[in-house]
A and B are shown apart, each in its own frame.
Chain A
């Protein structure tokens, strides 16, 4: 089973700052990695798939990069509505499909 480790657990930034979230895989997943945003009380939402492709309707301030074992989700300029928990997920070697433990993004 591929284990995904996300860091940091919590990120506290001011509006307008750049947010950098990390996801590390226990073995190579090529580019088969997605990112999800889960706001409080809501279902998750697909943001990025195949490491760098934005899903439909996702604002351009969200971008994904990486391949192999190291991936990054970047929010170029943090907005108050970006407060959420962000999860990465791999589909390279499954079953099982696996998620990271999440990074909570807060506004200072």
Chain B
């Protein structure tokens, strides 16, 4: 069965960086686009970024463009999100998700990022 396990969250000071990882199993990782979606505490869902199956095509939400970088290593079945210049507005649970024609077919359990001094 599809399993997505995020890691790398934690407490980080404003302006600092953090890298999230998402380990995938149970499907042919290299055949699917992958997303990051976030959810601020008590708030709704916000799409963050997508990377194509081969890593060549990437799109970002305006709120993170220029600060966040999505990438993948198909040899390790792992998705990444490099987050720079973090601010309090980036505090959220970050989910990785497997795409189904740009819907979110399978989700990980999420990893909490808290930006605070």
**Which residues from chain A sit less than 8 Å from chain B, CB to CB?**
34, 36, 38, 43-46, 49, 55, 87, 89, 91, 94-102
Structural contact, A94 and B102, CB atoms closer than 8 A:
yes
> Which residues of B are at the interface with A, using a C-beta cutoff of 8 A?
35, 44-47, 50, 59-62, 95, 100-110
Q: Provide the main secondary structure of the chain B interface.
A: strand
CA distance A89 to B39 in the complex (A): 14
Query: Are A99 and B44 in touch, CB under 8 angstroms?
Result: yes
A-B pairs with the 4 shortest C-beta distances?
A: A91-B102, A43-B107, A97-B47, A95-B59
A92, closest chain B residue (CB): B102
**Are B110 and A43 within 8 A (Cβ)?**
yes
Nearest chain B CB to A29's CB is how many angstroms away?
12
Q: For the A-B complex with A46-B106, A96-B62 known, give 7 more contacts whose Cβ atoms are closer than 8 Å.
A: A34-B104, A45-B107, A49-B101, A87-B45, A96-B59, A100-B44, A102-B45
Closest to A35 in B: B103
Shortest distance between the CB of B67 and any CB in chain A (Å): 15
Pair B61/A95 contact, Cβ less than 8 Å: yes
A91 to B35 Cα, complex, angstroms: 13
Which chain A residue has the least Cβ–Cβ distance from B102? A91
Bound CA–CA A98/B44 (angstroms)? 11
Q: How far apart are the CA atoms of A87 and B44 in the complex, in Å?
A: 8
On whether the beta carbons of B47 and A98 are closer than 8 Å, the reply is: yes
> CA separation between A76 and B15, bound complex, in Å?
49
Task: Find A46's partner among B45, B95, B100, B108 (CB 8 Å cutoff).
Answer: B100
Residues of B within 8 A of A87 (CB): 44-45
